[in-house]
Structure 1
Amino acid sequence: MRNPNWSEEELILAFNLYCKIPFGKIHKNNPQIIRLAELIGRTPSAVGLKLSNLASFDPQLQARGIKGMKNAGKKDRMIFEKFQNDREGLIYQSEKILAEREGLSLENKYEAELPEANSLVGETKERYVKTRVNQNFFRQMILTNYHSKCAVTGIDLPQLLIASHILPWAQNKAERLNPENGICLSALYDKAFDQHLISFDEDYRLILSTNLKEHCTKTYYQTHFGKLEGQEMILPDKWLPKREFLEWHREELLQI
């Protein structure tokens, strides 16, 4: 009989999946849940229940009055604490365990995302692999959070979607992989957001910079920006953009 107590590795894998599927799709018939159940030798129902238990301790869901299953365990709460304290370590560990369960190495699984791996060695290679694997995870997490749609336009072509950081990756290591620091945007709006030409107010409505408004007579301005000013972003499934991060972003916009 399968041990009812989940091992640390199993719990980490469950959390990995929790970050990659919408809250509303946590059920035993979800193919991703079925796949994880096969990898760890549990039933899809058990995996679905574990993901619901994890949702009970998700701070963002709690703040929005959304609750998972009652009577979740202490270890389920601790995984969120670990995520808050060491996102880079936990995400990389979870992806490494998942690859091993799939019978792959990280380099094989993410070969397309690691074009420079073969030219690197030692600690340099390890840092490179970890960074690229974690960036790929962040993209999956953010696109899932926004149902793979641009938060401004609703464009749903994955090839055009980018997991945009509010606080830049290079400037804030602690928040690099924080899902509250990401917004799913299509390429044009990602670039405009990165250059502080657009931002969002405290109610998640689109605002335009003075610099951008100087082009208000141009056709592209009204088509792609002017008519969208004041529009509320398409809100995510679980993790709303952190208001303090957006406040910083707006201040940068005002300085341009």
Structure 2
Amino acid sequence: MLLKNKDVSLPSQGVWSREQTVLALFWYYQLPFGRLHAKNPLIIKWSEIINRNANAVVMKLMNFASLDPVIIASGRKGMGNTSALDREIWEFYNNKLELLTNDAEIILKQIVGTDGEAFDSLLPQLEMAETNKNYYGAERTVTISQRIRQNFFRSTILSNFDERCCISGLAEPRLLVASHIVSWVQAPDKRLSPHNGLCLSALYDRAFDRHLLTLNTQLEVMLSPKLRKISETTRFSIGLLEIEGQPITSPIRFGIDMGLLKQHRDHFVKLQK
């Protein structure tokens, strides 16, 4: 087991502690419903962190699913045996994911310590391009806090789009990027918001980031004239002309912030002049 700090109460059976429950909710947002099973390598890692077995963690995640309006509206069901603490934690952190991330970070540091290598072995693997993005201004060293937040943003965005590119439907996580609609520099208070993210394949992420591609108010793809012209003369089809005017796949849990999308689109239009 990975328990380092004996002052943190992490029972291995029976009633869950508050710390264990907070971490379970933190992880719940990072996985699609279909991946909530005991053979999932992430759940196995998470169960080791909180001194529980994988089946118990799955049951706790399914308890949160039974409280999730998105899951309820889809006709699916969780376990249906939520505790008072489950409901309290769910209601307290509802629409407060920044606070949830902060509290989860504190708990994780109490359990695992502050060894960066230890955290790297526990967190989902970030793509190199995303790891190199600096979400925190002048800091250059990728701190544990950054690792936790970058992993949370990426995992939550991919989960929100069922781990598929919302434009093409590509379902290979190693080729997917959690793209900010508006960068943290322009909207620092939205850098972790799942409403400020799209799940895109690497090509579309790059085009979106450079404002060569955007979405209209109906969430349909718009290409810049320059990108369209380049695509028309490319030797092989690279999947750009085909997507123009096509709607993206709708997010599952967190809707897109249309105000942030308008900022992106306004900049896109400005660059065409």
TM-score surpassing 0.5?
A: yes
Q: Is the 8 A contact 2:114 2:144 kept in 1?
A: no
- Distance change >3 Å, CA 110–CA 32, structure 1 → 2: closer
Change (3 A) 1:108 1:33: closer
Contact 1:215–1:221 at 8 Å: present in 2 too? no
Q: Distance in 1 between matches of 2:140 and 2:243?
A: 44
What does the per-residue CA deviation read over 1:2-26, in whole Å, with 9 as the maximum and x for residues that have no partner?
6643222101221232122211222
Which segment drifts farther, 68-77 or 184-193? 68-77
Shift in Å, 1:68? 4.0
> Is the contact between residue 166 and residue 249 of structure 1 (CA under 8 Å) also seen in structure 2?
yes
Q: Which residue of 2 is the match for residue 120 of structure 1?
A: none
Cα deviations across residues 124-169 of structure 1 (Å, max 9, x unaligned)? 7999442343123312332344444332234455454321001211
| Residues in 2 aligned to 1:146 and 1:198: alpha-carbon distance in whole angstroms | 19
Instruction: Supply the AA of the counterpart residue of 1:143.
Output: L
Question: Residue 65 of structure 1: CA displacement?
Answer: 6.8
- 1:186 is matched by which residue type in structure 2? S
Residues 184 and 106 from structure 1, CA distance in 2 versus in 1: closer, same or farther, beyond 3 angstroms? farther
The answer to whether 1:105 aligns with 2:114 is yes
Residue matched to 1:121:
none
- The correspondence of residues 88-237 of structure 1 with structure 2, limited to 5 A, is 89-95=99-105, 97-98=107-108, 101=111, 103=112, 105-110=114-119, 128-210=143-225, 212-213=227-228, 215=230, 217-219=232-234, 223-237=238-252
Deviation string, structure 1 residues 57-85 (Cα, Å, up to 9, x no partner): 44655676766454644543454543633
Q: Which residue of 1 aligns with 2:46?
A: 36
Report the secondary structure of 1:255's partner residue.
Answer: helix
Moved more, 74-83 or 178-187: 74-83
Cα RMSD of the aligned pairs, angstroms, is: 3.8
Q: For 1:239 and 1:229, how far apart are their aligned partners in 2?
A: 24
User: Number of residue pairs matched?
Assistant: 246
Residue of structure 1 equivalent to 2:19: 9
Deviation, structure 1 residue 37: 3.5
Unaligned runs of 5+ in 2: 1-10, 133-138
Taking a change above 3 Å as real, the CA distance of residues 64 and 17 of structure 1, as seen in their structure-2 partners, is: same
Q: Residue in 1 aligned with 2:136?
A: none
- CA deviation vs aligned residue, 1:162-198 (integer Å, no higher than 9, x gap): 2100121122222211222211222221121122221
Question: How many Å separate the matches in 1 of 2:17 and 2:68?
Answer: 20
- Decide whether the 8 Å contact of 1:23 with 1:237 is kept in 2: no
* Cα offsets for 1:216-238 (capped at 9, x unmatched): 64337964321211223244554
Conserved in 2, the CA contact under 8 Å of 1:20 and 1:141? yes
CA contact (8 A) 1:200 1:206 kept: yes
Q: Which has the higher helix share?
A: 1
In structure 1, distance between residues paired with 2:84 and 2:217: 34
Is the contact between residue 163 and residue 182 of structure 1 (CA under 8 Å) also seen in structure 2? yes
Cα distance in 1 between the residues matched to 2:142 and 2:205: 26
| Pair 1:2–1:216, CA change in 2 (3 A) | closer
Identity %: 35
Q: Distance between the aligned counterparts of 2:256 and 2:235, measured in 1?
A: 27
Structure 2 letter corresponding to 1:52: M
2:95 is equivalent to residue 84 of structure 1: yes
User: Does residue 69 of structure 2 align to residue 54 of structure 1?
Assistant: no
